[in-house]
Amino acid sequence: MKLVEELTNGMASSERWIRLPTRGRCPCTGLTRPHLYQLIRSGKIKTACLRQPGKLTGVRLIWLPSVLAFIEKCVEDPRGTR
């Protein structure tokens, strides 16, 4: 409900943490889970891992504005250059 309120009030809905897709493509960016992990390993996007002490698994979140900024850097002009 909060996201709906943000969208109707005109707030920046992209200013949020999102979970990695379990399969398929991320609905916010269109990128696949392996591609997002590649960006995480290379340090190109901001990420957080929420894990309880002593546990092996947790929740990986990515900062959506960092992914959108990376995509923006990759935009090419019509002549095929960046």
In DSSP notation, 10-25 reads T--TTSSEEEPPSSSB
Provide the whole-model pTM. 0.72
At 77, is the pLDDT very low, low, confident or very high (cuts 50, 70, 90)? confident
Residue 64 lies in a domain: yes
The span from the CA of 2 to the CA of 4, in Å, is 5
Residue 1 lies in a domain: no
The span from the CA of 78 to the CA of 9, in Å, is 35
Residue 29 lies in a domain: yes
pLDDT of residue 1: 45
Q: Domain range spanning residue 37?
A: 16-73
